[in-house]
Structure 1
Amino acid sequence: MNNIVQSFKKAAVDAIQAADPTAIQFGHVTSTSPLKILVEQKKELSIAQLILTRNVRDYEVEMLVDHMTEVAEGHSHGYKGKKKFTVHNALKVGDSVILLKMQGGQKYLVLDKEVV
């Protein structure tokens, strides 16, 4: 009976490995135009294979501000209301990134930059 259980366990593990499950990987940006990321020091991914999160892209955010400008030549003024700001998160050549390899290995979600 123990052999049957072991056979089922092995079959389950083999099936999971064959399905190429989701995995976390690390890569390095080798180009930004067009975007290319080198994974495992051998596989270069192109933009067609990548899904970018907001953590690795420039984006705009609208914020409510209410403050005074710095005094210049004896003058300052209020700065108030909703303003749009650009958050500069775009990838740069040399950035290390954390990727989530999607099931099947065809697409990679670029989660964030690695802090080194």
Structure 2
Amino acid sequence: MALGDKIRKLGSEAVGAGNPVAVLFGTVTNIHPLEVNVDQRFTLDEDFLILTESLQRIELDLKHTHLLPGSEVTKDALMDKIVVRSGLQIGDIVLLLRVQGGQKYVVWDKVVKP
């Protein structure tokens, strides 16, 4: 490698080190296993993605029974689970933060359109 090429390479690495995080947008293309397409240029699989807690699906099972007043009969109430947070879905647009070095990407949050 010529000296000029080495200097250019070192210069570009120094610039990259000065910007430790890059912000990107991606689209969820698959859930199991998780895949995110970034700007229609490349796809990241779950090996390269770090999810925050706010993107995890949360369900509450509210099934319960109670005794009817004045009798010994029980009644079931709320048979279904309630989804508190849906988690990621195919087609969701997500905000990604590229970790310095570019090997991992933090899926920071979903992007919502007003």
Sort the TM-score into its range (normalised by shorter chain). 0.5 to 0.7
The CA deviation at 1:17 is 2.5
Gaps of 5+ in 2: 1-9, 61-81
1:65 corresponding residue in structure 2 = none
Q: TM-score by structure 1 length? A: 0.61
Quote the RMSD (CA, aligned, Å): 2.6
Aligned to 2:84: 87
Percent of aligned pairs with the same amino acid: 42
Equivalent position of 2:42 in the other structure: 43
Count of residue pairs brought into register by the alignment: 83
Residue 25 of structure 1 is matched in structure 2 by 24
Task: Tell me the TM-score normalized by structure 2.
Answer: 0.62
Aligned to 1:80: none
CA drift of 1:60 comes to 6.5
Whether the 8 Å contact between 1:20 and 1:104 is mirrored in structure 2 is no
Cα deviations by residue, 1:38-93 (Å, 9 ceiling, x for unpaired): 012111000110000012111478xxxxxxxxxxxxxxxxxxxxxxx863231000
* Amino acid in structure 1 at the alignment position of 2:25: F
SS in structure 2 at match of 1:110:
strand
